[in-house]
Amino acid sequence: MNSFERILATLQNQPTDRPPFFLNASLYGARLTGASLDDHYTQAALYAEGQMAIRDVFSPDLLTSPFLVPAIGEAFGSSRRDHPRQAPNISGFAAQSAEAMLKLPLPDVDSHPRLVYLRETIRILAAKYAGEVPIIGVLVSPLDIPPLVIGLEAWLDALLFEPAVAQALLDRLTPFFVALAEAMFSDGATAVALTANLANKDIVTPDVAHTLTLPCLRTALAELPGLVIFHHGGCPLVDQLVRFKGLPNVAAYVLDAGENLGAARQALGPGPVVMGNLNGPGLSDLQPGDVQALCDRAFAQRGEDRQFILSTCGADIQIDTPPECLAAITEAVCRAGGVEA
């Protein structure tokens, strides 16, 4: 059973030879190839080589386009800051308010260099692993684009105190988001993964979510021609799954580190895949035995649930994580399935 077959069986609640798993190892590929992070995050072929190396060494069942949402902010004109050991981040915003952002031109998903970079990684990986490994395009929802362009504080001000402006901006961003997602699907993405933090009750009020952000999210997701992986985005998700379940095209929900997998299944009911709940960035501080114990705990929580993908969550696996800790995840899923690693 190859990874594509394994993931398809998981979606269909069918048996698999072993549990599928995913590593958020967008950054870690540079360690395996020896590429500089500047090249890794600007040259699609080098990034793709990193994902191929991840696949060769650790055999995860999903590979991704760069976990680099700041690139979307760059496409709107924000500036980035490079780091020697981490992915780039936004260093300066393209506009100062939601009203000012309304006047910015929308990036062309077919020609802007940063968006072309994201898309080209999908094209390369999809051509390499067609029918063998699902490729995931990494995005943010329309709700989470403004913080990359005007900052979170300015966006919260608009959502709370200028709802008409916020609505106008969401209406403007939704077609851009849909166009970029559609482009990723056309490039060969099996699904797109996204955050929707600005619909999360830990960030916005129930009124904002009910009147602005959740309706926008439903509208945007309903227009997509493929499957969606809903990522927690750094906020606890289990106690909000009742709010988010049933969103159009969402096939899987990624929980935060340590969240209870059994409780998630109870909240969701049958159907969607549950993903989680390993702390990817925290693996660098652990020993392989500790990682195996966390995997075993996750399998105990999921019980007999076949619609489960063991995965790291949160930010990227750190570049200084011992490879033995990632290999421990591979060994844990193989042991759970009674197959050789």
Residue 86: CB partners within 8 Å, gap ≥ 6?
Answer: 27, 37, 316, 319
Return the pLDDT at 290.
Answer: 97
Give the span between the Cα atoms of 257 and 332, in whole angstroms.
Answer: 17
The pLDDT value recorded for residue 80 is: 94
- Per-residue pLDDT, 339: 81
The domains of the chain are located at: 3-337
pLDDT score of 340: 79
Q: Which residues of the chain have pLDDT under 70?
A: 341
pLDDT of residue 212: 97
Radius of gyration of the chain (CA): 19
pLDDT in tens, 163-210: 999 999 999 999 999 999 999 999 999 999 999 999 998 899 999 999
> What is the rounded distance in angstroms from the CA atom of residue 216 to the CA atom of residue 169?
11
Give the pTM.
Answer: 0.96
20 Cβ neighbours under 8 A, 6+ residues apart? 3, 6, 7, 10, 61, 62, 309, 310, 333
Question: Among 174, 332, 232, which Cα is nearest to 24's?
Answer: 232
Phi, psi (rounded to 5 degrees) for 98: -65, -40
Rounded to an integer, what distance in angstroms lies between the CA atom of residue 303 and that of residue 55?
Answer: 27
SS3 218: helix
- What pLDDT does residue 101 have? 98
As a whole number of angstroms, the distance between CA 93 and CA 173 comes to 17
Residue 112: CB partners within 8 Å, gap ≥ 6?
75
pLDDT attached to residue 337: 87
- Report the relative pairing of strands 273-279 and 308-313 from DSSP bridges: parallel
Task: Report the distance separating Cα 321 and Cα 285, nearest Å.
Answer: 8
Return d(Cα 131, Cα 151) in angstroms, integer. Answer: 40
Task: Pull the structure tokens for residue 85.
Answer: 């050991």
CATH of domain 3-337: 3.20.20.210
**Cα separation, 108 vs 88, whole angstroms:** 22
Instruction: Quickly tell me which residue has 């799954």 as its tokens.
Output: 241
Strands ordered across the beta sheet of 250-254: 21-22, 308-313, 273-279, 250-254, 227-231, 191-195, 135-138, 63-64
Residue 55, amino acid? R
